[in-house]
């Protein structure tokens, strides 16, 4: 028996990194997975990996900032599998990484807010009615430790992830009575293609970040995926409105240093 047997899950940004790892894990645990990504080649690769492992999945190309794309994504899940149990709003961008506050551009602002905030809201907006029909569900939204810690060079990205936490809390309270749980995962620095891409301009960046993490290393995508699996499963049935951090102790250590 898999931990997600009988469940239908949508995962955005599932073509690579944490989203791909979660999609493969969810399918392994019995879920039927709708792989959503803005890059068809990546998403189709994830579906192929799932099917080769004996799982069930379909791909849909989605720009999460577009209402019609989100509607199509939700409708595809319903039309294909008959219901929706899990929405993992994992897609995200960080276009202005490393820039001081005054150097972020309006284009950076618009892109981060459109994908990271609007995309999460649209996902919840159109998924929740279907979850109510199904008798409940689990929504998992991806934020970041940057939302709660002042990381230099993360101004608008941090703001967008703080908004994700606030929206998630409200949705958790509003729909708890309909058996819909909404929780947030706050990854630290995870060794994903996106993270490695934004860090490549500074050869010493990874070493510096590793020194700031009490465990002494970057996180692995599967370490986030297993938390998402727990939140998607019935094992977390009394957990809603929470933010859970996967960062090797980085945030705890920063709070400790600030208080001493």
Active site (catalytic) residues = 157
E strand segments, 74-136:
86-89
Angle of helix 119-134 relative to helix 155-175, nearest 10 degrees, comes to 20
Q: How far apart are CA 112 and CA 64, in angstroms?
A: 12
Report the largest interatomic distance among the alpha carbons of the chain, rounded to a whole angstrom: 56
d(CA 229, CA 20): 13
CA dihedral sign, ordered 145, 151, 154, 158: positive
Over the Cα atoms of the chain, what is R_g?
18
- Distance CA(185)–CA(97), nearest Å, equals 20
């Amino acid at each position: 028996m898999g931990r997600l047997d009988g469940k239908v899950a949508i995962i955005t940004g599932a073509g690579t990194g944490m989203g791909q790892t979660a999609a493969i894990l969810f399918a392994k645990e019995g879920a039927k997975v709708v792989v959503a990504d803005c890059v068809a080649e990546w998403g189709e690769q994830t579906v192929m990996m799932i099917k080769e492992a004996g799982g069930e999945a379909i791909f849909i190309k989605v720009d999460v900032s577009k209402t019609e794309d989100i509607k199509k994504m939700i409708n595809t899940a319903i039309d294909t599998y008959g219901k929706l149990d899990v929405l993992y709003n994992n897609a995200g961008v960080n276009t202005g990484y490393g820039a001081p506050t005054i150097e972020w551009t309006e284009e950076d602002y618009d892109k981060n807010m459109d994908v990271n905030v609007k995309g999460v809201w649209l996902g919840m907006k159109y998924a929740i009615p279907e979850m109510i029909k199904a008798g409940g569900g689990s929504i998992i939204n991806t934020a970041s430790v940057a939302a709660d810690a002042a990381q230099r060079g993360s101004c608008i990205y941090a703001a967008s992830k703080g908004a994700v936490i606030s929206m998630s809390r409200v949705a958790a309270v509003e729909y708890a009575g309909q058996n819909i749980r909404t929780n947030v995962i706050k990854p630290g620095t995870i060794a994903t293609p996106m993270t490695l891409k934004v860090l490549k301009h500074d050869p010493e960046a990874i070493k510096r970040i590793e020194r700031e993490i009490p465990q002494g290393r970057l996180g692995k995508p599967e370490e986030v995926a297993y938390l998402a699996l727990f939140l998607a499963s019935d094992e977390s049935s009394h957990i809603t409105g929470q933010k859970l951090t996967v960062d090797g102790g980085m945030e705890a250590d920063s709070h400790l240093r600030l208080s001493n």
